[in-house]
Chains A and B, each alone.
Chain A
Amino acid sequence: MSDASERLRRPAWLRIWGAALVPLFLVGAWLGLVWSPPDVNQGNLIRIMYAHVSVAWIGFVAVALTAFFGALFLWRSRRRDDVLAVASAEMALLFSSLTIIGGMTYSRPTLNTFWTWDAKLTLTALMVALLVGYFIVRALIDDPVRRGRVSAVVAIVVATSLPFNYLAAEWFRTLHPSRAIALDGSGVTMAPEMLATLLFNTVVAGLVYGWFLVDRARLGRIEAQLETERAERELATPSAGGVVRV
């Protein structure tokens, strides 16, 4: 019993990391909402950008890392790589969903519509669809090894498709320049305070992602260990006794 709770305990460094996220988040929010100046053109609306863009960037990193951990799993067949891949995919889905909500919040007051075929927003919507496919495939396969291998293949195809999807969405937009607006602030003159705020918030988002990834992977590892132990117990029942030779 104590063994189990010992296993479930977060190591000290992980607890410190987690606790540090709260003040960091508050500082980021303060920088974005109070410290940074309003934008010349967009006024206070620009403040949505700090949360929106930082989350979007980390979402893309998370997809790339899902494919990376998937490839590692295919290469070395270690259970922990699959656990990291799925943890990263979960965070990618969360972050890209937040990105879409952020994008819609942003486009409602600026364009008077919730949805715009902005390149990055379209890309993020596709990314959500691709990630949903990844999770459906995982749900359909019972054997943990096969589940990990097949979904790793899907993750690699998905990550490869993102640059093409980006290019297509970007070029698609240029045919309707009147409806387009850059949601990443690239069309905006960035004051140094604004850039600093954006970078700080991106680092915080990255630390949130990293913390959840490490913690989820830790739980996944324990889960895998318990499964393996149970499987071993079930296999260990009466041994046939030595090698059968014919």
Chain B
Amino acid sequence: MNDLLAVLWIARKDLLHETRSKATTVATLFFSALTLVVLAFAIGQDERLLQDAASGALWVALAFAGVISAAQSYQADLEDGAFDQLLTTPVPRAAVYLGKLLANWLFMLVLGVMLLPVTLVLYGASLPASWPWLIATLALGTLGFALIAVFYAGLTANLRARESLLPVLMFPVVVPILLAAVRASGALIAADDLELAAGWLRLLVGFDLVYAVLCTAIYHFVVEE
């Protein structure tokens, strides 16, 4: 119960940081929207091609923003030794991880819900009848991504070359997440095919469950020095 409270407090702290450092947050949002536009330019005028690429573009934009926001959440921690001090309180390391995860996941999920209509308009696709499943795909996919991003961002936070190291470490691990999320939302956007999406959603659920348990259990090795 008290540990749950600690999780919420840490999430609150990170979310307050996101909303109070507006310039950075807005820049991240703008950057991901811009990614969508640039990708649309790169794909060209072919309507069919654009529609097929919609879900892929959405997840590329989300992935970029997710890496940036995970790295930034530790940047705030490392200033003035605030994280160091936080970790000398008797709060379980797992609660720290879950709190930061919760904040990062919410950020990505909100971003995803905001980018979805933008994507549909830019890529000439329409909202499928099974749109609640599209939101579920967004939730499961961003959760899986945030699980790895928050974990590895903690690991790279006090290493040299952390900016380039984080994507190098995490992208091969999140390949199944991105692949499954792209396929599932693609099946929904392009064909409204719930049956095809269901298989990929199961993979997302399995990935999220396994890594939620694993990362929570070994996070204390990540923050020790």
Contact = CB atoms under 8 A, between A and B. Distances in A.
Taking chain A's interface residues, is the majority helix, strand, or loop, or is none over half, making it mixed?
helix
B131 interface: no
Contacts, number: 74
Give the interface residue-count category, chain A: 20 to 34
Contacts of B215: 157
A138 B148 CA distance: 19
Interface stretch (A5-13, A38-46, A162-170): A162-170
A149 B172 contact: no
A84 B214 CA distance: 23
A195 interface: no
Interface stretch (B29-37, B102-110, B174-182): B174-182
A113 interface: no
B165 to A, nearest CB: 7
Output the residue of B160, B169, B203 with the most chain A CB within 10 A: B169
Contacts of A129: 171-172
A74 interface: yes
A133 interface: yes
Contacts of A140: 159-161, 165
B155 interface: yes
Q: Chain B contact residues: over half helix, strand or loop, or mixed?
A: helix
Which of B151, B160, B168, B173 has the largest count of A CB atoms less than 10 A from its CB? B173
A207 interface: no
Contacts of A167: 176, 203
Given A133-B172, A171-B199, A146 B225 contact: yes
B41 interface: no
Interface in A47-66: none
Contacts of B159: 137, 140-141
Interface residues of B, number: 32
Interface in A156-212: 156-158, 160-161, 164-165, 167-168, 171-172, 175
B153 to A, nearest CB: 13
Contacts of A156: 214, 218
Given A126-B175, A153-B155, A171-B200, A160 B210 contact: yes
Interface in A112-154: 126, 129-130, 132-133, 136-137, 140-141, 146, 149-150, 152-154
Contacts of A150: 155, 221-222
Contact of A137 (B169, B203, B207): B169
B64 interface: no
Contacts of B155: 137, 150, 153-154
A152 B221 CA distance: 9
Contacts of A132: 168
A136 B165 contact: yes
Contact of A168 (B152, B175, B210, B214): B175
A161 B175 CA distance: 9
Interface of A: 74, 126, 129-130, 132-133, 136-137, 140-141, 146, 149-150, 152-154, 156-158, 160-161, 164-165, 167-168, 171-172, 175
